[in-house]
Amino acid sequence: MAQQVAEGVYFIQGQDEFIPDSHMYVIGKPDSEDLSLIDAGLMGKGDYKLGSIDSLGIDFTSIKRVIMTHTHLDHIGCLAEMLERIPWAELWVHELEARPLESGDDRIVYGMEMFKSMCMTQYNLKPGSFSFQVDRRLNGGEELELGGIRWEVMHIPGHSPGSIALYDRQRKILIPGDVVYADYAIGRFDLHGASGAEHKKSLFRLGELEVDILLSGHNRIDTNLPPGYIADTAKQWAPYLT
């Protein structure tokens, strides 16, 4: 399923299995020929994600990069499959997750040892399956002009060390990865490299933004967010985030 959420912002819904598959967003004005994919998804979902992009009438040659909100398995699992079809696309990742990704340290990808062995068996993954060269390291604070739309990069650690959000201040659109979801839910904060205290700070920082359209990594998207929604979510969760 693929749909346009706003001009130059497309939503491709994840196809959850017993492990969730992250949503993917395609950003950039169609005539810019400078499109970015935000996140990939779970192993085996490359054909589905690329097929959905194709169904939007997007020419693959206009896809210039994949930007990861973070590098958990449910977001990066099908990246290699996708890059086989779009090998020219650059990979942009926050510095703190770029380093392990390049050195083949997959502890953030899998999140926990037990999950790693289960997934490797289930999906027939070999050691070193998640070693990637990163073309651009993000730090947070960048103002990116992508396909004719301006996005601010925010570093919002906690769910993972290098989690980022993309924010379109003009249209009040936020792509926060797994840090905050619709319906007052937040991402987990118990995996490798996670921190409840950092997560809390990140939620309160996001809570300062004006957001009408929330495009999270999972669950439903919300295109008519109540005012103060993220700040309220942060307040509700704060006592548990230490």
66 vs 149, which CB is nearer to Zn ion?
A: 66
How far is the C-alpha of 187 from the C-alpha of 201, rounded, in Å? 14
What is the contact mask toward Zn ion in residues 16 to 55, using x (rule: CB under 5 A)? ------x---------------------------------
- Nearer of residues 65 and 192 to Zn ion, judged by Cβ: 192
Phi and psi (nearest 5°) for 139?
-120, -15
Bridge partners, residue 144, by sequence: 151
Q: Which of 39, 74, 97, 198 binds Zn ion (CB under 5 A)?
A: 74
Q: Indicate the residue among 58 and 174 with the shorter CB distance to Zn ion.
A: 174
For Zn ion, the binding residue among 23, 45, 72, 155 (CB under 5 A) is 72
Least separation in angstroms between CB 22 and Zn ion: 5
Binders of Zn ion among residues 110 to 139 (CB under 5 A) are: none
178 touches Zn ion (CB under 5 A): yes
CB of 199 to Zn ion, least distance (A): 11
Report CA 234 to chain centroid distance, whole Å: 20
C-alpha 156/C-alpha 195 separation (Å) is 11
Strand 173-175 to 213-214 pairing? parallel
Q: How far apart are CA 221 and CA 13, in angstroms?
A: 9
Q: Does 64 bind Zn ion (CB under 5 A)?
A: no
Neighbours of 21 (CB within 10 A): 25
Q: Does 217 bind Zn ion (CB under 5 A)?
A: yes
Three-point CA angle 70, 158, 147, nearest 5°: 35
Binding of residue 168 to Zn ion (CB under 5 A):
no
Q: Which amino acid is at 197?
A: A
Q: How, if at all, do strands 164-168 and 173-175 pair?
A: antiparallel
Residue 97 touches Zn ion, criterion: CB under 5 A? no
For Zn ion, the binding residues (CB under 5 A) are 22, 72, 74, 178, 217
